[in-house]
């Protein structure tokens, strides 16, 4: 049984007002109208995305994976559709010096079983040398296929940091879609769930109620980044947001050997 507080006027500092269930339901129903409109517009955009023109390119161009050079066509694994995440790379950087944003995205794409069930393959490509990439993949415990596209032209290579979609028709290969900037967010389920929570993502750009907890702060700017920073990109061993010598991409704290006593700085590399 849900009961309202005896004195609903005793609101908590920096929190929304406390109301009875009926008032809450009315406010929730009002927001639902906007949510449904947002969903329908998203469906319409997806329909337009499926109607984008395509670009054909040479699918025999070679990329490098654990078995050496293979044609890009192999990434389809016999399926007709392929989603690729293009992971940024910093040559000769330690594991903790690799791109924190890309590390976050890749961590959320650890299993493509449901994509595979719909006839869609998934792979990650990056511009790093394969020997460095293989070591990083092993350290992170990734199981999805990775390939080096060093010196390979777009759309297989080129700019990194995006999700890109391809279609195969026999031996013909086509570029169909690529994200930009926040277009990668569908791959990161944590962000969608955080958007539903009371405090949201706790990012500085968010429109929050007055008195809401501020975004985690960092120290002095490092590598051109100031405070507040993206807490879900890089933290120290205690979970504090930081770009400094004790920080590393958040998912790496679950890796074997990632201990607070190690030197974890990015050594001059940054996104």
- The residue whose two tokens read 């499926």 is 50
Q: Is 101 in contact with 225 (CB distance < 8 Å)?
A: no
The span from the CA of 155 to the CA of 9, in Å, is 58
pLDDT tens sequence across 93-140: 888 889 888 999 999 998 999 999 999 999 999 999 999 999 999 988
111-145 per-residue burial string, b: 16 or more CB within 10 A, e: under 16? ebeebeeeebbbbbbbbbebebbbebbebbebeeb
Exposed/middle/buried for 189, CB within 10 Å: 0-12, 13-18, 19+? exposed
Q: Is 249 in contact with 103 (CB distance < 8 Å)?
A: yes
Give me 248's structure tokens. 């590393």
Q: Return the SS3 of 241.
A: strand
Give me 189's structure tokens. 């389920």
- The residue whose two tokens read 């791109």 is 99
Entry pTM: 0.85
Give pLDDT, residue 5: 52
Mean pLDDT of 55-82: 98
pLDDT tens sequence across 208-258: 888 887 776 654 343 334 445 567 788 887 878 777 777 888 888 877 766
The span from the CA of 67 to the CA of 72, in Å, is 13
Residue 152 reports pLDDT greater than 80: yes
Phi, psi at residue 140, to the nearest 5°? -80, -15
CATH classification code of 55-180:
3.40.30.10
Give pLDDT, residue 210: 82
The span from the CA of 8 to the CA of 15, in Å, is 13
Residue 27 reports pLDDT greater than 80: yes
Round to the nearest angstrom and report the end-to-end CA distance of the chain: 50
pLDDT tens sequence across 171-213: 999 999 999 988 999 999 999 999 999 988 888 788 888 888 7
Give me 63's structure tokens. 């990329």
The span from the CA of 208 to the CA of 109, in Å, is 29
The span from the CA of 134 to the CA of 77, in Å, is 20
- In the chain, where the domains are located: 55-180, 194-271
Cα-only R_g, the chain: 22
Which residue would you say has higher pLDDT here, 141 or 129? 129
């Amino acid at each position: 049984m849900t009961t309202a507080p005896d004195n609903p006027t005793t609101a908590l500092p920096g929190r929304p007002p406390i109301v009875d269930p009926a008032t809450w339901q009315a406010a929730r129903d009002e927001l639902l109208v906007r949510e449904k409109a947002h969903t329908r517009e998203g469906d319409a955009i997806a329909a337009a995305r499926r109607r984008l023109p395509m670009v054909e390119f040479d699918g025999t161009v070679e990329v490098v994976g654990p078995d050496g050079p293979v044609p890009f066509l192999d990434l389809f694994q016999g399926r007709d559709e392929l989603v690729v995440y293009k992971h940024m790379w910093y040559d000769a950087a330690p594991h903790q010096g690799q791109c924190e944003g890309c590390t976050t995205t890749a961590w959320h794409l650890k299993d493509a079983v449901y994509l595979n069930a719909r006839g869609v393959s998934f792979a990650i490509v990056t511009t790093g040398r394969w020997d460095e990439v293989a070591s990083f993949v092993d350290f992170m415990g990734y199981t999805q296929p990775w390939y080096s596209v060093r010196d390979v032209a777009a759309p297989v290579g080129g700019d990194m940091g995006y999700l890109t979609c391809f279609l195969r028709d026999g031996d013909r290969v086509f570029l169909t879609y690529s994200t930009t900037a926040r277009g990668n967010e569908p791959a990161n389920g944590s962000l969608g769930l955080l958007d539903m929570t009371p405090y949201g993502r706790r990012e500085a750009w968010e429109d929050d109620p007055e008195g809401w907890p501020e975004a985690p702060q960092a120290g002095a700017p490092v590598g051109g980044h100031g405070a507040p920073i993206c807490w879900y990109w890089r933290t120290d061993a205690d979970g504090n947001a930081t770009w400094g010598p004790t920080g590393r991409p958040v998912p790496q704290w679950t890796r074997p050997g990632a201990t607070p006593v190690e030197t974890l700085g990015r050594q001059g590399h940054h996104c």
